[in-house]
């Protein structure tokens, strides 16, 4: 709990700052808007957390989401649920492909997911004919991204359900325990008799599935599949995951704190929008990428120091 205090304190400080400085910050409209929009990033971050916990990386989540948004839009004339399932299946298929290439061909996750990222982007452009694909006007698919259930945004509820499922999976299932063991030491996990390859394929399949759901929400929210969207989403996900205390080397992580990382980044960008509205500063949307990069660099530096200190303590204890 102690190591999570900095992000929790930063999150609380941002909320207090927003409430004090901006009159409409705590309004129901603003809070539900933050929740609705950042649901996409929460989904890809949860999937990324499982992959990083195993010691891997998934650079394809952004373009997979874009591909899924196009697939969902193209299938929306057959109904909302068909579009949701088709988009999610497209994402899961790419995730399984990533896992199989990594485990069967023994190609590094970085190279594998970089290649599938480029491939998914190309397929999305081909399916969309290099343009956005509008969802069917007579379909109820748009409700999946724009609708509410019991007064709460449906995308937010989907992300909440995924977060709870991910939290339970990591804490209480064989898949979660094996993922942590593999991230700690893949060789040791194999020697213990764990089915490492199956767990890795499952981790990448989960990442692809959740990226696919994020793409479905993207298409439903904006009324069209976006083949060129998703650029930089992987950086957001990685930033949120490492902000939440998950080690890039694997073996340690938290879904709950990953969501805290998503909330922190989402609030930073929301506060920037409010500040732009006041007119004292004028920061373009490109600053979001700059901030993500700074956050990511800072956390990686801090993690490197923590790991170095742990190494020294281990050596001292052994000596």
Q: 148 pairs with which residues across the strands?
A: 153
Domain count, the chain: 1
Residue pLDDT, tens place only, 108-117: 999 999 999 9
Q: Residue 83's domain is classified under what CATH number?
A: 1.10.3470
Selected residue with higher pLDDT from 308 and 263: 263
Tokens 């006007």 -> residue: 137
Q: How confident is the model at residue 133 (pLDDT cuts 50, 70, 90)?
A: very high
pLDDT-derived band at 210, boundaries 50, 70, 90: very high
Mean pLDDT of 36-62: 96
Integer angstrom CA distances of residue 272 from 15, 32, 221, 238, 283:
13, 17, 22, 21, 7
Reported as a pLDDT band with limits 50, 70 and 90, residue 282 is: low
The mean of the pLDDT values for the chain is 89
Please state the rounded mean pLDDT for residues 95-113. Answer: 96
pLDDT band at 268 (very low <50, low <70, confident <90, very high): confident
Alpha-helix runs per DSSP H in the chain:
5-21, 28-53, 61-75, 80-104, 109-128, 143-146, 154-172, 174-184, 186-191, 196-222, 233-243, 255-278, 286-318
Domain with 260 in it = 2-318
| Inter-CA distances, 169 with 51, 55, 132, 310, Å | 13, 17, 36, 27
Residue 192 near residue 43, CB atoms below 8 Å: no
Q: Which residue has the higher pLDDT, 11 or 211?
A: 211
Whole-angstrom Cα distance, residue 21 to residue 272?
12
**pLDDT for residue 73 is more than 70:** yes
- CA–CA gap between residue 59 and residue 153 (Å, rounded): 28
pLDDT confidence band for 98 (50 / 70 / 90): very high
């Amino acid at each position: 709990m102690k190591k999570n205090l900095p992000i929790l304190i930063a999150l609380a400080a941002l909320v207090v700052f927003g409430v004090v400085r901006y009159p409409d910050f705590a309004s129901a409209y603003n809070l539900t808007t933050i929740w609705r929009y950042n649901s996409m990033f929460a989904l890809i971050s949860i999937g990324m957390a499982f992959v990083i916990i195993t010691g891997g990386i998934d650079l394809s989540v952004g373009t997979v989401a874009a591909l899924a948004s196009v697939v969902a839009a193209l299938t929306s004339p057959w109904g909302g649920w068909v579009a949701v399932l088709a988009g999610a299946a497209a994402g899961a298929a790419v995730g399984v492909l990533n896992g199989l290439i990594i485990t069967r061909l023994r190609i590094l996750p970085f190279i594998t997911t970089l290649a599938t990222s480029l491939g998914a982007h190309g397929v999305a452009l081909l399916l969309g004919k290099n343009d956005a694909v509008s969802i069917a006007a007579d379909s109820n698919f748009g409700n999946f991204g724009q609708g509410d259930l019991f007064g709460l945004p449906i995308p937010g509820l989907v992300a909440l359900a995924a977060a709870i499922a991910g939290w339970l999976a990591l804490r209480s299932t064989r898949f979660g325990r094996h993922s942590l063991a593999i991230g700690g030491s893949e060789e040791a996990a194999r020697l213990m008799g764990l089915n490492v390859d199956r767990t890795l394929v499952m981790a990448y399949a989960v990442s692809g599935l959740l990226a696919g759901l994020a793409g479905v929400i993207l298409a439903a929210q904006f009324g069209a599949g976006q083949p060129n969207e998703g650029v930089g989403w992987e950086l957001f996900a990685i930033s949120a995951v490492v902000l939440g205390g998950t080690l890039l080397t694997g073996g340690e992580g938290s879904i709950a704190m990953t969501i805290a990382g998503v909330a922190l980044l989402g609030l930073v960008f929301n506060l920037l929008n409010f500040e732009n509205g006041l007119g004292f500063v004028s920061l373009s949307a490109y600053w979001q990428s700059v901030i993500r990069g700074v956050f990511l660099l800072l956390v990686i530096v801090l993690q490197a120091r923590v790991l170095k200190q742990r190494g020294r303590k281990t050596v001292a204890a052994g000596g």
